[in-house]
Each structure stands twice: as structure tokens, then as C-alpha cells.
């Protein structure tokens, strides 16, 4: 691990037990990286387009149908306050977490900590080089959690890519001590089956449980064997994180889950989960699991229990993420059609694919059911060179309304209202024009979250954005203050 910041050079060794586990932490000034990310840790590459598609995109810009290359446009209720470009970490920007006056931003090369006490002028506190896709990130107290979902030579932050077919390869969860935000310390690593694409925290007073979502097993992968029909549950003692360990692997799909093609053409076969959102105050969780959507109880966090399971074999290709409304009678599931590498916000794909699916939760207790109500997809025109699909978002906490802010890659940031789950509508937006008109390029906001009165977005290519939303429908949320926010661990905004 290399931490890059502006304080004088200091070097500090971890304790013997930690060093023996293969962990490495070195603190340096900003400069050349000692651990270089490998191609296997990079995001999606550019892909070519036809001359007709390129010409069509250029014509749409000339005619004012879409913004120009890198041009910023937004609704009148949104103000763009700040942008902080990438610095030492050049890889793909990923997810965000928040604590007090700090924002934590994941990147395929590691993570970056911002001081957001002045949202108009975020300051970099530290940058930690620790390559390994996709570095999904969460925080709880003095601990920071980082997912590694690419096969590595070992669990250190100076590891290199290594084939998953080799038994010695490592993937899983990394844990850092962030009691000193300028000098994060790598303190623990836990290998998990098939790595950790994303993770979700279930925090308790003495321990933090981590639900690890991963998928795509292969008979050729020694540490990722089929079937892979569940999630890894890690228990992390707060006072002794070096003792973190997998305590269970609950099987969520005893029948194997959605079979995908040829039974269900165009639908991902379920071989694990992509992401899980928990609402600890209600002991409830929603799982987005490739070809399936789940509702389950987490009354016993080590042993989650399935309540209901749904599929959409007509319009959903890949169940990507989930968000509860605050009264826990709705769930928004997202469909990442094209895997975040295709242009899906166009007439050819239509308004029901690569969209959100809004489900009502009806019934009580273990008899609750997920009932489909409608789809929501942004209808702002996008070029066929722009990767655009439903991605990560969060609730905007306003009593009596169901409001959400959401990232759509190059579709930008959308603010939308699903109070009437049958008639969702967009009420605000922010976006940049195409990165280019001569190739399909993965760019735009990976995550867009509402935290303590502002919208924060981690743009895959352009860096960290801060937006201010002024609208009578959302203004009451400005009075809601949180000490910490991991969006996949939804807080009880009004019952605290």
C-alpha cells in the first residue's frame, strides 16, 4: 500500500503478526508508484463504433439534441459546486462512503479520502495505492473495508495480477484502520470464495458483519468452484480486526437460481449475488443477484433467511443493486444491462431495459412479497457512443415522499420521485456530454449519493463532483444529518 499525501515522508512498519499475514503499508509523498496496477485491474476498454454511429452522434451535438463532448448540462434546481480530478490514482473511480466531514472514494488503484467540510472546495487528505478491482468501499467507526475482485499474487498492496487458475492466487476483503485519516493502516485481509465484487456492512457494537457478494465460478478456479449459490459472511471484531474471518456461507439459491439462457435468453444465470442492501433497523435486506431479486431477513446476521424471490425474464438482464424506501414498503432494483460497458439509453433498447424496477413490499413478516409496479429509466437523449445504464444511488430523506438520486454512467446524475410507485418521474439531472464520438467509452458517474445536504458523485473518468440540489420537494432533506453513511447499509433517517 502506498499512501500519497502532502505531509513529510514517514515510514512505518506494521506489527509482526500483521506483517506475517502478507500485509504491506508504506507511507510516501505523492510521486511514482511502487505498485503498478496491471491491465487485469482496469475498467472496461474503449470499443469502436461504426462510421454511421459516429456521424449520428456528431449530428446530435450540432443539432443541440445532446450536450457537446464533455459539456456540462443540468436542470435549474441543481448547481455544480466542485469537481476534483483524478490525481495519483489513475484507475476507474468506483463507490463512495461517508463519515463526518470525510468522503471515501474507491478506485481500481486504491482509495482516496476527501475533507468535505467545505463542499465547494473538497480537499484531498490522503490517497492509498492498493490495486485490485473494483475496490468497493465502506467505513464503520475506525475501520475501512475494501473489496478485491481480481486475482492477485498475494494479499498485499504491492501484489500483481495472477491467474485465478493458480491455487496461490488471492481475492477477498481488506481492512484498514482509519483512525488517522492522513495515514490509513492496512490491518487485515480475509480471502473469500470468488473474491469480493461488492460488500455490505451489518454493524454491531462489538463486531461488524460483512456480507460479501461475488459470482462467476469456474471448475478451473481452485478458490471459486461451482456451485456458488450464496454469500460469504465475515465477522470483524472492532477491537481486534486482525481476527476477522469467514463465519458462514449461507446458500441463498438451493435450486441453483435463475438458469439464464437458453431457458431465459438475455438473462444472466445466477451464480451468486452482485450487491446487497441492508436496513438494519428493520432487520431486512434486499439482494440483487444476477438473475434474481431477493428479500430476506437478517435478524440473525450470520444466518440470513430468504423471505421472497422474484425474477423478470422479459426486461431484466442483470440484477445489479437494490434500494429500500424509508418506510420499507418498496424496493428499487436496478438492471445493469450490458455490464456497464454498452450504450443502452437509446430507442433500440427502449424504456424498460437497463432500467430500474420498482417493487412494492406487501404483507407482513416472513409472508411479505415483492410485487412489481413499474420501470423507471431516464428519457434524456444519449448518443450510441455513451455507456448509459442504471447504477448506484441513494434515498433523499424527505418524510412522506420517496425520492432518490442515482448514477447512470454517461447518462449522468438523475433525481427522481417514486412516491407513486406506478408513476415514477425525473425531477432533476446533471450530466456531461460524450467523452468522445468515435468510440463507446465507459465513463460518467459510478455512484451518486445524498449526504448531509449535498449530492456527491464519483465520476469514472472525470473525478469527484459535488452538486447542490435546491427544490421544495427535496429541501427538507437538508435538515437531516448523519454521522456516517454507507449507502448499502441504509440508515433509519427519522427514527434515530
Helix/strand/coil (H/E/C) assignment for every residue in 123-157: EEEEEEECCCCEEEEEEECCEEEEEEEEEECCCCC
Locate cell 487458475: which residue? 165
pLDDT (tens digit per residue) in 301-316 = 999 999 999 999 999 9
Sheet with 393-396: strands ordered across: 72-74, 425-432, 413-417, 403-407, 393-396
Kindly state the average pLDDT of the residues 100-128.
98
Q: How far apart are CA 368 and CA 295, in angstroms?
A: 8
Percent of the chain clearing pLDDT 90 (strictly above): 86
Q: How far apart are CA 115 and CA 106, in angstroms?
A: 15
> In this structure, are residues 419 and 427 in contact, taking their beta carbons and an 8 Å threshold?
no
pLDDT for the residue 29 = 29
Beta strand ranges found along 64-133 (DSSP E):
72-74, 78-84, 93-99, 102-107, 110-115, 123-129
Spatial neighbors of 310 by CB under 8 A, at least 6 apart, are: 292, 293, 359, 370, 372
- Reading the block at residue 126, the C-alpha cell is 490522503
Give the three-class secondary structure for 58.
helix
> In this structure, are residues 142 and 177 in contact, taking their beta carbons and an 8 Å threshold?
yes
Kindly state the average pLDDT of the residues 210-223.
98
pLDDT for the residue 44 = 54
> In this structure, are residues 148 and 173 in contact, taking their beta carbons and an 8 Å threshold?
yes
Average model confidence (pLDDT) across the chain:
91
pLDDT for the residue 346 = 93
Percent of the chain clearing pLDDT 70 (strictly above): 91
pLDDT for the residue 466 = 99
Q: How far apart are CA 51 and CA 54, in angstroms?
A: 5
Nearest to 139 by CA among 108, 90, 105: 105
pLDDT for the residue 24 = 62
CA torsion sign for 268, 274, 279, 283 is positive
pLDDT (tens digit per residue) in 48-69 = 788 888 898 899 999 999 999 9
Q: How far apart are CA 476 and CA 337, in angstroms?
A: 34
| 45 pLDDT tier (thresholds 50, 70, 90) | low
pLDDT for the residue 22 = 55
Residue 46 vs residue 164, higher pLDDT: 164
pLDDT (tens digit per residue) in 86-104 = 999 999 999 999 999 999 9
Nearest to 129 by CA among 39, 196, 38, 33: 33
Q: How far apart are CA 37 and CA 99, in angstroms?
A: 28
Q: How far apart are CA 291 and CA 314, in angstroms?
A: 11
85, with CB counted inside 10 A (0-12, 13-18, 19+), is: exposed
Beta strand ranges found along 284-368 (DSSP E):
284-289, 292-297, 305-310, 319-324, 330-335, 356-362
Nearest to 105 by CA among 144, 132, 155: 144
Q: How far apart are CA 487 and CA 422, in angstroms?
A: 24
The vertex-254 CA angle with 248 and 260, nearest 5°, equals 120
Q: Report in angstroms the alpha-carbon separations of 292 from 97, 234, 286, 316.
A: 26, 23, 11, 9
Amino acid at each position: 500500500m502506498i499512501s500519497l499525501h502532502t505531509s513529510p515522508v514517514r515510514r512505518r512498519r506494521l506489527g509482526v503478526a500483521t506483517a506475517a499475514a502478507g500485509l504491506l503499508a508504506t507511507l510516501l509523498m505523492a510521486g511514482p508508484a511502487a505498485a503498478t496496477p496491471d491491465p487485469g485491474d482496469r475498467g472496461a476498454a474503449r470499443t469502436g463504433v461504426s462510421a454511421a454511429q459516429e456521424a449520428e452522434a456528431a449530428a446530435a451535438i450540432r443539432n443541440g439534441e445532446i450536450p457537446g463532448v464533455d459539456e456540462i448540462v443540468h436542470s435549474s434546481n441543481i448547481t455544480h459546486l466542485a469537481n476534483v480530478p483524478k490525481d495519483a490514482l489513475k484507475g476507474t473511480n468506483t463507490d463512495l462512503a461517508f463519515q463526518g466531514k470525510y468522503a471515501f472514494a474507491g478506485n481500481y488503484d486504491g482509495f482516496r479520502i476527501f475533507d468535505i467540510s467545505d463542499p465547494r472546495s473538497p480537499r484531498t487528505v490522503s490517497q492509498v495505492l492498493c490495486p485490485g478491482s473494483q475496490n468497493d468501499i465502506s467505513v464503520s467507526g475506525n475501520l475501512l473495508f475494501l473489496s478485491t475482485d481480481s486475482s492477485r499474487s498475494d494479499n498485499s498492496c504491492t501484489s500483481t495480477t495472477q491467474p485465478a487458475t493458480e491455487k496461490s492466487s488471492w481475492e477477498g476483503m481488506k481492512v484498514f484502520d482509519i483512525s488517522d485519516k492522513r495515514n490509513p493502516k492496512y490491518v487485515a485481509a480475509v480471502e473469500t470464495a470468488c473474491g469480493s465484487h461488492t460488500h455490505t456492512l451489518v454493524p454491531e457494537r462489538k463486531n461488524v458483519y460483512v456480507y460479501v457478494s461475488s459470482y462467476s465460478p469456474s471448475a478451473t478456479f481452485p478458490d471459486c468452484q461451482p456451485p456458488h449459490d450464496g454469500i460469504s459472511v465475515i465477522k470483524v471484531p472492532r477491537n481486534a480486526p486482525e481476527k476477522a474471518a469467514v463465519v458462514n456461507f449461507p446458500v441463498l439459491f438451493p435450486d441453483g437460481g435463475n438458469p439464464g439462457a437458453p431457458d431465459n435468453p438475455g438473462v444472466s444465470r445466477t451464480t451468486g449475488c452482485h450487491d446487497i442492501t441492508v436496513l438494519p433497523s428493520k432487520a431486512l435486506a434486499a439482494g440483487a443477484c444476477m438473475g434474481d431479486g431477493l428479500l430476506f431477513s437478517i435478524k440473525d446476521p450470520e444466518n440470513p433467511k430468504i423471505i421472497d424471490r422474484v425474477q423478470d425474464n422479459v426486461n431484466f438482464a442483470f440484477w445489479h443493486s437494490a434500494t429500500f424506501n424509508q418506510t420499507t414498503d418498496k424496493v428499487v432494483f436496478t438492471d445493469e444491462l450490458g455490464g456497464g460497458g454498452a450504450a443502452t439509453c437509446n430507442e433500440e433498447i427502449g424504456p424498460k431495459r437497463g432500467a430500474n424496477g420498482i417493487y412494492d413490499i406487501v404483507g407482513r413478516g416472513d409472508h411479505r412479497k415483492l410485487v412489481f409496479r413499474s420501470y423507471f429509466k431516464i428519457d434524456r437523449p444519449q448518443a450510441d457512443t455513451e455507456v448509459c445504464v442504471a447504477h448506484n444511488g441513494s434515498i433523499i430523506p424527505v418524510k412522506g415522499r420517496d425520492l432518490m438520486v442515482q448514477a447512470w454512467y454517461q447518462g449522468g446524475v438523475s433525481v427522481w420521485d417514486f412516491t407513486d410507485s406506478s408513476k415514477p418521474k425525473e425531477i432533476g439531472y446533471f450530466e456531461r456530454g460524450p467523452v468522445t464520438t468515435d468510440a463507446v467509452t465507459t465513463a460518467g458517474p459510478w455512484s451518486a449519493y445524498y449526504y448531509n445536504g449535498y449530492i456527491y458523485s464519483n465520476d469514472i473518468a472525470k473525478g469527484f463532483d459535488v452538486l447542490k440540489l435546491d427544490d421544495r420537494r427535496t429541501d427538507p432533506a437538508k435538515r437531516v444529518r448523519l454521522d456516517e453513511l454507507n449507502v448499502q447499509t441504509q440508515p433509519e433517517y427519522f427514527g434515530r
